[in-house]
Structure 1
């Protein structure tokens, strides 16, 4: 397939007509002769052609005459010699002449660029033609030749323009050092007078614009035409006043430039701001002033001033960009607003996190006596309050009207009614647990599933229970509210251990009780010792088949003391009983069975 395509393109190139360069690449004499012969030839054949072909022949004759005139024109132009510049008034006039020539140069460059585009278009059209001697083909070739010759001539003129303008700039630079500048005390008042006239023009322009709008609303055509004429005259007058004001300000600027006064940059900046704000047709003038300041004041000084202004411009542009709305909510949310929201939220979130850690782990004197549960409640409530306040301030900072969020709240309420039931249920349950304090951090609980452990966290959605195997179990708060929960340390953290043991039949019961209680008081075991109501006791529970059963009733604290030391556990007390009974030669029974055999 690719091979066939290559063959097709090759054949197409063979068939396509080439550009006939004889219409424009010969000498002037030969081209003139060629054009005249072609005019005679087509004029003689004109009578035998149709009306449509006659029109094409007339167009071809016109092109040939244009070409004949074009080659006779000189490929140069005469520019008057630049006179010596002696005073400031002459200097301003020469600047105006320079700007006028620059505008002509730009115009010729634009014309040349347009001709290049037309040449490219004609090349494409000619390549599609097949009949070399047809009227259409010759007309296209002649038009192509016309643009080629025109651009050739333009290039020569443009080169001369550039040389002339470069020389003109150098003369302006050299004259800047020698021109006589009078002490014109009325110049500033002249500028103020022109500025007042300009302000009056702006007022008149606004007045006419309002009147035109009224006329359009009332569809008064005569009034509309009359106002358009007035506006056109006013705009022409405005353009003249702007030009007068610009060159008068330059007249006040030149003395500072000549004396290399740094105040020049300040006045020049004000002039550039005025030009940028009120007119876009002074680009060449701006470039000339930059050239003069750079060459006369020095590259370093000018570059520093330009860099400083560019830096300010970059800051101003960046500030405008980050303030431009990018999200269409309310009056629009900008990058700056989003940044402010993020900074406020990060700051508020950091403060809330710091507060929560500070309250939860505080050892300050005013919180030392406060229970862990109370500190946890204060930490959680304060944390969520600070986060909520931060979020509200963040929304206000980006300009979002909070009253408009009622629609969002309504939509969320529908979602809550369906998809968020469990989440909301757990959230409300968490609030109930915090305020009700039926379950608090540090409590030992047992839920209906048989899970037992210590509550280590109570959050807004779930709570964490750490088992005695040091496994953290995350339990939804609604489970703790809706199911039966046994709180082993609800009123306080003291609970009773019932430690079972047995002795053999024949032992003195009073002696056993006395030995156990006395040994317990003298032991190193940790339990509640100094509370009369919580004193250890031993009670007999049953007379079993092999033993007399007792229970040691001892009270312990579930939570460690201030030094981090916890109470003894069930294993500690069982070991104590075994060693105590063995030490005092009290027999510990074990199940026995007597077997009696009868002879038959």
Structure 2
């Protein structure tokens, strides 16, 4: 009962204190003046933002076909247009705050309004401006609550309380405030690192004078450098001694020596592949183990092949160094294929090559350079005369039934149009002696 009475007394005390503050604001000329200035600042911001937004959109919106760095910068600035109203209101309120302080010596009401406009700016930033999922989560659960605490004027007290709350972790201990700072600073720096990596990767990709393998190696090197610098920055900003990472580096070295040999081997093999450029993204390759497909991605650990039926095969980079690899495409070079066929023995075989070569040359994918179609006599079979036509195309035959299928159709139609018979197996049975019937 005593505890309940004390709780009621405390609640009553807080209520009276709040009533005194409200009464002071409602009855004070300074408070009414601040309210009026606050409303004037808000409506002035509304008017100014309505006037400025069309001008900003007009002069900053680039043509849709432009994609250069200046156009990207203009689009980036346009992302922050929704913040125009709360920021203008914050600025106008700051002017009103300086006026009230110079006249009345206080500005608590208008200062609260200024902080409230900053809270609105933070909320709009998270809701309408930020598109990155990670930054959106950080903004929703860290930035907006911090802005709300700042708006009601208790941010400093909460920060002190978080700093006093220490979390033990073995031989280490840190405060909740340190943890929040680490999350915010680390998230922001690594987001900037990822953005920088995307920009550098796009720039390197557009350097067409570089070999594809060299472009990919340069992009990987830039990625490692950017995130390495980001990691060192986070450690330095948070006051973590970099010398303490020497032990971690030794542990990683021992792990590489014993348990991570394959990973290290695959990583080094991947670097060698990118440097040599003997197999790169877009090439169709076949390994000794029978794996075949088009290289669609090369990572630090493995190379990914896509087969004709859409399946992905993950091949360790080491296999490309230690085993025999057949590269069929070599980044788009021409490839030679053969289409075998036969004609009957009653055919004038001297006419067949010209007829077949002319028919195959009509295929739009068949090349005349490095060599035009070439029909060759291959042998005399059991049922007919065997021929084969060689042709060159830019690309890989789809499971041996892409270009070759169309070529065989053209050969069939050309032979039929010239009344040349395509044989089928014949069997001749010879019976020695006379056939006699046994009578009873």
Task: Confirm or deny that 1:344 pairs with 2:189.
Answer: yes
User: Contact between 1:330 and 1:401, CA under 8 Å: does it hold in 2?
Assistant: no
1:263-321 C-alpha deviation (Å, 9 max, x unpaired): 5999xxxxxxxxxxxxxxxxxxxxxxxxxxxxxxxxxxxxxxxxx99955x33334445
What is the alpha-carbon distance in structure 2 between the residues aligned to residue 527 and residue 383 of structure 1? Answer: 42
- Structure 2 spans left out of the alignment, 5+ residues: 3-102, 109-148, 436-440
Question: Is contact 1:444-1:455 (8 Å) kept?
Answer: yes
- Give the CA deviation at 1:577: 1.1
Deviation of 1:355 (Å): 4.3
Q: Residue 193 of structure 1 corresponds to which residue in structure 2?
A: none
* 1:497 is the counterpart of 2:337: yes
The 2-side partners of 1:580 and 1:341 are apart by 70
1:577: which partner in 2?
411
Cα distance in 2 between the residues matched to 1:589 and 1:425: 56
Match of 2:258 in 1: 418
- Structure that is richer in helix per residue: 1
- Contact 1:494–1:555 (CA under 8 A) maintained in structure 2: yes
Alignment of 1:133-282 (within 5 A): 263=105
| Matched-pair contact (CA < 8 Å) for 2:335–2:393 | yes
Aligned to 1:553: 390
Q: Contact 1:446/1:452 (CA < 8 Å) preserved in 2?
A: yes
Change beyond 3 A, Cα 1:576–1:430: same
Alpha-carbon distance between aligned partners in 2 of 1:548 and 1:478, rounded to the nearest angstrom? 47
Say whether residues 1:444 and 2:284 are aligned partners: yes
CA distance in 1, matches of 2:150, 2:286: 74
Q: Which residue of 2 aligns with 1:586?
A: 420
Change (3 A) 1:548 1:430: same
2:373 aligned residue (536, 540, 551): 536
Change in Cα spacing, 1:402 to 1:427, as seen in structure 2 (3 Å) is same
The structural deviation recorded for 1:326 is 5.1
Report SS of the residue matched to 1:510.
coil
How far has the Cα of 1:374 moved from its partner? 4.2
> With structure 1 as the length reference, what TM-score do the two structures score?
0.43
After TM superposition, the score normalised by the length of structure 2 is 0.57
Tell me the equivalent position of 2:366.
Answer: 527
Contact 2:338/2:391 (<8 A) preserved: yes
Q: Which moved more, 1:321-330 or 1:463-472?
A: 321-330
> In 2, Cα distance between the equivalents of 1:309 and 1:466?
54
Structure 2 equivalent of residue 487 of structure 1: 327
What's the Cα RMSD here? 3.4
Q: Distance in 1 between the 2:106 and 2:308 partners?
A: 84
SS in 2 for 1:550: strand
Higher Cα radius of gyration: 1
**Partners in 2 of 1:455 and 1:591 — Cα distance?**
42
The equivalent of 2:317 in structure 1 is 477
CA contact (8 A) 2:269 2:317 kept: yes
The answer on whether the counterparts of 1:444 and 1:453 sit within 8 Å (CA) in structure 2 is: yes
Alpha-carbon deviation of 1:554? 0.5
2:351 to 511, 514, 532: 511
Gaps of 5+ in 1: 1-112, 114-260, 267-307, 561-566
Q: Secondary structure at the match of 2:234?
A: helix
Distance (Å, rounded) in 1 between the aligned partners of 2:224 and 2:275: 15
